[in-house]
Amino acid sequence: MVSAEEKELLAERFVTGNLYKLKHLTAMVQPEELAELINESPHIDVIKVFQVLDAEKAVKTFEHLDFERQEALLLSFSVDQLSSTLNALSPDDRTALFEKLPTETLRKYLSLLTAEERKTANQLLQYPEDSIGRLMTPDFISVKEHWTVQQALDYIRKYGKDSETLNIIYVTDEKGFLQDDIKVRDFLLAPLDQPISGLMDRTFVSLDARDDQEVAIEAFKQTDRVALPVTDFNGLLLGIVTVDDMVDVIEEEDTEDIQKFGGTEALEEPYLKVSLREMIGKRAGWLIILFLGEMLTASAMGYFEDELSKAVVLALFIPLIISSGGNSGSQAATLIIRAMALGEVTIETWWQVLRREFLSGLALGGILGVIGFLRIATWSLFTDIYGPHWVMLGLVVGFTLVGVVLWGTITGSMFPILLKRIGVDPAVSSAPFIATLVDVTGLVIYFGFAYLLLKGSML
């Protein structure tokens, strides 16, 4: 692996080097590292770099480039180079490229594929966007259960070079239906004359090509495999999905969830490549919704105008109250959304979550309530800003903090589960949204306690 310092030095040399130096530099790094270097260094002339790469390394590097770099390269290629590159790409990486292209460009590129590759490309593109079928590759090795281990090894040697991975060998019947998957290690350790059926336990995990990619993420987490088979709904083996493809999907899913949780729509492109107009459009909707929600806070304060006019000191603690409720709600929502993403919390376990968060909210609210009361008590030793009824005021603030934090915690934990139950992405229960939701109720709780405890004294 290239260190950060070496990478920075390499990037500088790639920018300033001639073709001879570039050829020497590209020989020093693996295709994945070279692609990462190009992606992170906008001043590197990617077209110039590809002039010195051999065909195999060029294709492997191309597969790991950002779409914008890939697009620039394809536009610079001659028709022969373009055809050669597109046909050499692995089917899953080619599909990832094709699904981002405009329709006219896609048609042009499809026409440059061989008949076999065009058929494969069209088959993969017919699957729904974000489905497992878009990720799979048809390049895999399958054997028959009546073969011997020797026959299987001979077959692997002959055709294995075209497979995406050789860690797992799939067993199919005469019609191509999946029967089992066997680790290559088991073949290597078994007697050569043993039938493959003797290695089978017929317990395997497969993915449906039309399922969402999130299903594949969970399957990989549970099985700890480098590849999983993909079938149609009848069990016909169509292809495989490898773990390197899933790493990219996990990164995209996590990025989308984080952006949604921050109170914005998910960005389709990297931050610096999104147009200003699109950036504003992605953020304006949520800001308007949150603004309208906060208007309810102003309405609530207007409703309690009489109380505020009689005891102006109550206004001093409003920011403290609503921020504590919003913070506790955001904390709970963050924990639950992440736990749901990891499979630790499900819709069925909502009662356990509610019970835990109720106790947590009560304890956390109690801690903040005591601190709030002590703060008022301490200030009252040196000033009369809170007047002669500071004890009751301290109790109002203390009890309110318990109520607001408890309510914020319950809301923050239950709202994502509710959204999941109705089929909405829990990540949209963003931290700003939870905070806004708790603000209004926090004021009601605050002035409710104030009315009960201060009536006849300050009110």
**Which structure tokens are listed for 458?**
């300050």
- Cα separation, 367 vs 374, in Å, equals 11
Write down the pLDDT at residue 450: 83
pTM comes to: 0.60
Which stretches of the chain score pLDDT less than 50? none
**Residue 90 · residue 61 · CB < 8 Å:** no
Give pLDDT tens digits for 157-206: 888 887 777 888 999 998 899 999 988 888 888 999 999 998 988 888 89
For every residue of 33-76, DSSP letters joined together read HHHHHHHH-TTS-HHHHHTTS-HHHHHHHHHTS-HHHHHHHHHH
Query: In sequence order, what are the residues at sequence separation of 6 or more whose Cβ sits closer than 8 angstroms to the Cβ of residue 174?
Result: 144
Tokens 């906008």 identify what position? Answer: 42
Write down the pLDDT at residue 192: 92
Write down the pLDDT at residue 358: 94
Give pLDDT tens digits for 377-411: 888 888 777 777 788 888 999 999 999 999 999 98
**Residue 171 · residue 180 · CB < 8 Å:** yes
Write down the pLDDT at residue 289: 65
Sheet arrangement for strand 178-183: 142-143, 168-172, 178-183
* DSSP element (H, E) containing 229: strand 227-231
CA atoms within 13 A on the CB side of 175: 5
- DSSP assignment, residue 413? H
**Which structure tokens are listed for 371?**
């601190």
Write down the pLDDT at residue 53: 84
Exposed, middle or buried, 104 (CB in 10 Å: 0-12/13-18/19+)?
exposed
Write down the pLDDT at residue 297: 63
